[in-house]
């Protein structure tokens, strides 16, 4: 369940297992804490300290979306207590060869996920079938280039080239009135980039919590470089699920057929969803995150039939995130074993 706070001059309080939203001292909404999975905040409501404390303790992520002066922020609980796994992560990241292998793991996984939105493009625009086939073949060739990459810089070049090719493909078929010519951000300058940025932000908050639940250090990544204030490992894992966000945005656009009233523009903020449109978006997102396509995740390694996706095979985003964390944890332990690193996660 997602709780979206989008009311001006409001106050958020915690009362015995319930979040209570008030305006002018009057209760306007109550949300039980138990089923809550994500809180999204627009504007500048007053939030009691107890609310932040409780949300952190139970591990519910909070997204504060950007305003005129500040970018978005993702809040949540602190580091988990699985020190052996986090120690192994730091040891592997310190070795350049191992870090490159881990970065390759992320890029290959991301490229495998292109099958999901690619299938959607072919369904929505039948005339795109040949371009989708060509793109799928590019992905297969790129996987070979990833395997042969001898540096992180080369690897990032391959990954960046494929990302650019993907957005160029979308630009060919999305409606002209949406003015999408490619990916841009900070701020997004057109409706599609507005939707993509919002979707990626919502995704990142959930990925961050999954990373913490698994016991990893979210700040130390393998594909994304270390940078003050950046949670690089959370960004690494977000790459694997961006194809799912892209698919959601494409299907939402087709279902709603947004016009100019769905968005507004402000200098410094770029393009944003209008207030009447935001409930439509978040309602659709809440449903989608519970039925995230999962056939890509279920495929066997080495399966060449990635384009044969069954949209009936779905699972919750949280479930899929936990599964991906387990897969990467197994990969890390395997790499640690190769290098003679000890890993003992058993109770003392």
Q: Which residues touch 173 (CB under 8 Å, ≥6 apart)?
A: 121, 124, 125, 127, 128
- Reported as a single tens digit per residue, the pLDDT across 74-109 is 776 665 556 778 888 898 888 899 999 999 999 998
* From 32-36, 266-270, 278-282, 325-329, the region with the lowest mean pLDDT: 266-270
Element of type H or E holding 20? strand 18-23
In this prediction, residue 309 has a pLDDT band, given cuts at 50, 70 and 90, of very low
Q: Taking the CB of residue 348, how many other CB atoms lie within 10 A of it? A: 3
Over the stretch 320-345, which tens digit does the pLDDT of each residue have? 998 889 889 888 888 888 888 766 65
Ramachandran angles phi, psi of 188, nearest 5°: -70, 140
| CA atoms of 135 and 174, how far apart (whole Å) | 17
**Lowest-confidence pick of 3-17, 57-71, 126-140, 150-164:** 57-71
Q: How far apart are CA 192 and CA 190, in angstroms?
A: 6
Q: Where exactly are the structural domains of the chain?
A: 2-60, 83-338
pLDDT at res. 301: 39
Chain Cα centroid distance, residue 258 = 23
- Cβ–Cβ < 8 Å for 125, 177: no
CATH of domain 2-60: 3.100.10.20
Q: How far apart are CA 212 and CA 195, in angstroms?
A: 26
Per-residue pLDDT at 303 exceeds 50: no
Banded model confidence at residue 17, pLDDT cuts 50, 70, 90: confident
**How wide is the angle at C-alpha 298 spanned by C-alphas 297 and 299, nearest 5°?**
95
Dihedral of CA atoms 332, 338, 339, 341 in degrees, nearest 10, equals 60
Whole-prediction pTM value? 0.82
- State phi, psi for 307 to the nearest 5 degrees: -80, -10
pLDDT above 60 for 277: yes
Q: State the average pLDDT over residues 303-310.
A: 41
Architecture of domain 83-338: Up-down Bundle (1.20)
């Amino acid at each position: 369940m997602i709780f979206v706070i989008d009311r001006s001059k409001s106050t958020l309080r915690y009362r015995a297992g319930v979040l209570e939203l008030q305006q002018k001292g009057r209760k306007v909404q109550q949300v039980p804490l138990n089923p809550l999975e994500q809180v999204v905040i627009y504007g500048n409501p007053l939030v009691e300290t107890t609310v932040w404390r409780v949300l952190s303790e139970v591990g519910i992520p909070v997204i504060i979306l950007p305003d005129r002066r500040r970018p978005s922020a993702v809040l949540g609980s602190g580091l988990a207590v699985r020190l052996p796994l986090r120690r192994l992560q730091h040891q592997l990241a310190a070795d350049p060869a191992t870090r490159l292998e881990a970065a390759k793991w992320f890029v290959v996984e991301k490229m495998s996920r292109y099958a999901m939105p690619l299938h959607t493009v072919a369904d929505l625009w039948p005339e795109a079938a040949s371009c989708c086939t060509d793109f799928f073949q590019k992905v297969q060739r790129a996987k070979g280039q990833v395997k042969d990459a001898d540096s992180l810089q080369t690897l990032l070049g391959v990954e960046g080239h494929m990302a650019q090719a993907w957005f160029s493909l979308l630009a060919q078929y999305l409606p002209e009135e949406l003015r999408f010519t490619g990916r841009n951000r900070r701020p997004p300058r057109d409706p599609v980039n507005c939707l993509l940025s919002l979707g990626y932000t919502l995704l990142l908050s959930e990925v961050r919590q999954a990373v913490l639940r698994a016991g990893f250090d979210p700040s130390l990544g393998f594909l994304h470089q270390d940078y003050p204030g950046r949670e690089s490992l959370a960004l690494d894992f977000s790459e694997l699920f961006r194809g799912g966000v892209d698919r959601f945005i494409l299907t939402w656009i087709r279902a709603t057929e947004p016009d100019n009233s769905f968005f507004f523009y402000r200098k410094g903020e770029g393009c944003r969803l209008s207030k009447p449109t935001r409930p439509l978006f978040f309602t659709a997102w809440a449903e989608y995150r519970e039925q995230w396509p999962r056939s890509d995740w279920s495929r066997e390694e080495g399966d060449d039939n990635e384009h044969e996706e069954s949209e009936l095979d779905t699972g919750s985003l949280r479930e899929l995130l936990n599964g991906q964390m387990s897969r990467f944890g197994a990969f890390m332990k395997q790499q640690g074993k190769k290098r003679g690193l000890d890993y003992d996660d058993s109770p003392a």
